[in-house]
């Protein structure tokens, strides 16, 4: 079994993994980082979004071996100690979550979105969220939270 090594949230991590192990399984099961969720298993829902080498990707549609040597950031890597990332704080403030299952993916997508588009308007935010599903249909407050975060950042 190959040994996979990557920098996760700033720390170098290594573990053995089958070649067919998905990055999301590697993060959750080998590294114990269960903040990244598996929602659909068909590459559609975005609950598993993490950043690989600085860009948001679906970690259920990437093999762990493909991320060997990469820099990975998960939802656990956003807050600084007890201080929430501005987008996390905005989700809390604006009730951008109901059940919370989609939230890690939503926030990781939002961080990537604001990196590329610092001041998105509402239609842009909605278009950029095309790869993230919220089955509570709480999109309204998610959009509001991202808009507020963009103004705060």
Partner 1 sequence: MYEFDYHTPQTIDDARALLSGRDDPKLLAGGQTLLPTMKQRLAAPSDLIDLRKVTGLDGITGAGDTLRIGAMVRHAAVAASDEVRQAIPALAALAGGIGDPLVRHRGTLGGSIANNDPSADYPAGCLALAATISTDRREIGADEFFLGMFETALEEDEIITGVAFPVPRKAGYAKFPNPASRYAMVGVFVAQTGNAVRVAVTGAGPGVFRVPAMETALASDFSAQAIADISVPSDGLLEDLHGSAEYRANLVTVMAKRAVQSAL
Binding residues for partner 1 (CB under 8 A): 2, 18-20, 22, 41-44, 46, 49, 55-58, 60-63, 65-66, 109, 112-113, 116, 128, 130-132
Residues with Cβ within 8 Å of 29's Cβ and at least 6 positions away in sequence, in order, are none
118 φ/ψ angles, rounded to the nearest 5 degrees: -65, -30
For the four alpha carbons of 13, 15, 19 and 25, in that order, the dihedral sign comes to negative
User: Is the Cβ–Cβ distance between 113 and 121 less than 8 Å?
Assistant: no
Q: How near is the Cβ of 65 to partner 1 at its closest, in Å?
A: 5
Measured from the CB of residue 83, what is the shortest distance to partner 1 in angstroms?
A: 27
Pick between residue 20 and residue 80 the one whose CB is nearest to partner 1: 20
CB atoms within 10 A of CB 86: 17
Residue 97 in tokens: 């979550």
Name the phi and psi angles at 63, rounded to 5: -80, 150
Q: Is the dihedral of CA 133, 81, 70, 117 positive or negative?
A: positive
């Amino acid at each position: 079994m190959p040994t996979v090594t990557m920098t996760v949230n700033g720390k170098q991590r290594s573990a053995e993994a089958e070649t067919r192990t998905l990055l999301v399984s590697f993060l959750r099961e080998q590294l114990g980082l269960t903040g990244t969720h598996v929602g659909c298993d068909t590459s559609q829902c975005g609950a598993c979004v993490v950043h690989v080498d600085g860009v948001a990707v679906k970690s259920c549609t990437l093999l762990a071996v493909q991320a060997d040597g990469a820099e990975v950031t998960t939802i656990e890597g956003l807050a600084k100690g007890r201080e929430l990332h501005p987008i996390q704080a905005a989700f809390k403030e604006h009730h951008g979550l109901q059940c919370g299952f989609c939230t890690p993916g939503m926030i990781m997508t939002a961080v990537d979105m604001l990196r590329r588009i610092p001041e998105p308007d509402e239609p842009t935010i909605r278009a950029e969220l095309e790869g993230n599903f919220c089955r509570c249909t709480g999109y309204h407050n998610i959009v509001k939270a991202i808009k507020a975060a963009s103004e705060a950042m």
